[in-house]
Amino acid sequence: MKLRESTLWPNDAAPTPALCGDNERAKVVAAHGFDSLVDDPELTEIVRFAASLCDTPVALVTLVESERQRFLARTGVDIDSTPRSTSFCAYAMMKGGLLIVPDATQDPRFADFELVTGDFGLRFYAGVPITSSEGAPIGALCVIDTVPRPAGLTALQRQGLAVLGRSVKRRFQARRESRQHRVAFSRQSAQFRTLGDWLPDIIWSADGEGRLDYFNARWEQVTGGTPPADIESWRPFVHPEDRDRVFDAWAECLARKESYETEYRLRQADGSWRWTIARAIPVADDDGGVARWYGTLTDIDERRRQADSSGTLAHELAHRIKNVFALISGLVSLRTRGRDELRAFGEDLVSTIASLGKAQDFVLPTGDNGSGDLRGLIAALLEPFAGDAATGRIAIDGETAPVGPRAATSIALVVHEMATNSIKYGALSADNGKLTIDLDIEGPDIVVAWTETGGPEPTPGGGGQGFGTRLIDMTVGQLSGTAERDWRKQGLAARLRLPLARLAT
């Protein structure tokens, strides 16, 4: 019986691959990174199933290179390559369809191939070409038998082999895309590292557990040491006086998954120490945990030195101003000594100057009376008027607000004047008198409610209307505020409304 001639499936008019030149094809092959697909588990499953489907002892996924064909996946053979010159798959990949060779000894294209004439004894071959996404021929998925098959493959086997061939192509494309992503990521990483090495700050990163895995070149340039492999290895680079504070804060931020910021002295390459601000931020993963930490170390030594210098200057200035206040108070006392008609005025003036000095101490960073807030300032100013703390004659409650150096002087004048009037003519002049001060923030303002009870029934102006009232109104007006008074039978009730923005200046 005459053997049927070799055929192409589905037909001889199937389109040929778009790229056939070896130079162009070699570039496409190289872009896939096929070395990583040798004995790939997925391709191995495909060839095993192809052999079972077509009932052949051998099945291969081949890559046709310039001089040889390599077997990326195989079953039924031990060799891993053959010369391209005797490759059936080199023919199959160029035909654009399923190539079937019923008996290779009867096909003039293949009859002299060593695989046919030699010990292997190839007789039957069926191969579906594998092309790249742009149409470049790459290789083939084939099944091989050592006995002729005049009938070739059944329709189901042909269809199955074509489906498996498309699976191989998808596997090739997935590997190519993965390689492209890795190359792009590697390029971006290299760019990031180059940029990071040029930045003046030290940049570092860690995984979600805080294990360090990256430092830019600045670490070695600044510290002279190799990047620490873990947090404990970082300790020698932190000044001994700062270590416990720094690492306790880091452990807390790590546990809470919160941003980290602190200042400490970092050891330099020459053994000196320079102040550094350390910052780190967590990056969340899809489950709400921390995927990574990114941090920086910024040298702030010059800024710290300037701040220390400014603090020294402020301390010296405050000391000189207090000396001026003391000198003025001394001059007032000296000028009023022996002059009974000026004694009360002198005492009031000295007391007022003292309150201004207390206000200055309060808002300056060298002061010991508070942190520059209104409630603390009022408490400090009224402390000399409170008497025995056990009596609770003065109560201050409510909200508070920041007080700046300029506003503090005005507040001191107002509070001192009102307290002086109260101790002369109001609630603080009586043994059972009480003063209550409530502070409430209302929109852009803070309201100071001054309420006196238990003293003598007041008279408008409180024992001498004129200078004191005008001083309070003028001073409150300078702060863009308002002052209201209610001369009740129980005692004076005053409301001072002060803008928060002006108060903070």
pLDDT of residue 92: 87
pLDDT tens string 40-55: 899 999 999 999 999 9
The SS3 call for residue 75 is: strand
pLDDT at 323 exceeding the cut of 90:
no
Q: Which residues pair with 273 in a beta bridge?
A: 267
pLDDT reported for residue 387: 58
Examine the pLDDT at 288 and tell me if it is beyond 90. no
- Residue 370, pLDDT > 60, answer no
Report the share of the chain in percent with pLDDT over 70: 76
Per-residue pLDDT tens digits for 219-270: 888 899 998 988 888 999 999 999 999 999 888 888 888 898 889 999 999 9
Contacts of 379 (CB under 8 A, 6+ apart): 370, 396
| Pairwise CA distance, residues 485 & 494, whole Å | 4
- Averaged pLDDT of the chain: 79
Order of strands across the sheet with 445-453?
394-398, 434-442, 445-453, 492-499, 482-487
Taking each continuous run of H as one helix and of E as one strand, the counts in the chain are 14, 17
Residue 346 has pLDDT above 60, yes or no: no
**Better-scored residue on pLDDT, 347 or 377:** 377
Residues 6+ apart with CB under 8 A from 123: 103, 104, 105, 116, 145, 146, 147, 148, 149
Between CA 445 and CA 185 the distance in angstroms is: 55
Contacts of 80 (CB under 8 A, 6+ apart): 38, 70, 71, 74
H or E segment at 345? helix 340-363
Contact 127, 89 (CB under 8 A): yes
Alpha helices (H) in 96-226, listed in sequence order: 114-117, 155-198, 218-223
Q: Is 81 helix (H, G, I), strand (E, B) or coil?
A: strand
| Residue 9 three-state SS | strand
CA dihedral 130, 136, 137, 141 (to 10 degrees): -10
Question: What is the b/e burial string over 233-260, where b = at least 16 CB atoms within 10 angstroms of the residue's CB?
Answer: ebeebbeeebbeebbeebeebbeeeeeb
Strand 68-75 relative to strand 58-64, pairing: antiparallel
Beta-strand pair 68-75/124-131 = unpaired
In the chain, how long is the greatest CA-to-CA distance?
A: 150
pLDDT above 60 for 11: no
Mean pLDDT lowest for which of 277-286, 299-308, 343-352, 421-430? 343-352
3-state secondary structure of 84: helix
Nearest-angstrom CA–CA distance, 360 and 314:
11
Sheet architecture: strand order including 68-75: 7-9, 98-101, 124-131, 137-145, 58-64, 68-75, 81-83
482 has pLDDT over 70? yes
Q: What's the rounded Cα separation, in Å, for the pair 374 and 363?
A: 10
Report the pLDDT value the prediction gives residue 95, as an integer from 0 to 100.
77
Q: What span, in angstroms and rounded, lies between the C-alpha atoms of 221 and 58?
A: 61
- pLDDT score of 475: 81
| pLDDT at residue 306 tops 80 | no
**DSSP state for residue 452 in the 8-state scheme:** E
- pLDDT of 420: 77
Q: Is the pLDDT of residue 150 over 90?
A: yes
Q: Is the pLDDT of residue 18 over 50?
A: no
At 123, the pLDDT band (50, 70, 90 cuts) reads: very high
Domains in the chain, start-ordered, CATH in brackets?
A: 7-181 (3.30.450.40), 199-299 (3.30.450.20), 304-503 (3.30.565.10)
Confidence band for 371, pLDDT divided at 50, 70 and 90: very low
What does the pLDDT read at residue 6? Answer: 38
CA distance 146 to 166: 26
The closest alpha carbon to 127, from 146, 153, 156, 155, belongs to: 153
pLDDT-based confidence at 155, cuts 50/70/90?
Answer: very high
**What pLDDT is attached to residue 350?**
55
pLDDT band, very low/low/confident/very high, at 103 (cuts 50, 70, 90):
very high
Read off the pLDDT of each residue in 148-152 and give the average, rounded to a whole number.
93
Q: Which of 169-173, 205-209, 301-305 has the lowest mean pLDDT?
A: 301-305
From CA 323, how far away is CA 330, in angstroms rounded? 10
CB atoms within 10 A of CB 99: 24
Average pLDDT (458-469) is 61
Tell me which DSSP letter residue 337 carries. T
As a whole number of angstroms, the distance between CA 164 and CA 57 comes to 17
pLDDT confidence tier of residue 130, bands split at 50, 70 and 90: confident
Nearest to 99 by CA among 22, 174, 16: 16
Residue 369 has pLDDT above 50, yes or no: no
Q: Three-state DSSP class for 173?
A: helix
Output the pLDDT for position 124.
Answer: 96
Nearest Cα to Cα of residue 481 among 447, 450, 504: 447
Strand partners, 123: none
- The CA distance from 388 to 410, in Å, is 27
For the residues 284-306, what does the mean pLDDT come to? 85
Q: Which of 455, 448, 458 is nearest to 486 (CA)?
A: 458
Mean local confidence (pLDDT), 132-154: 90
Per-residue pLDDT band for 393 (boundaries 50, 70, 90) equals confident
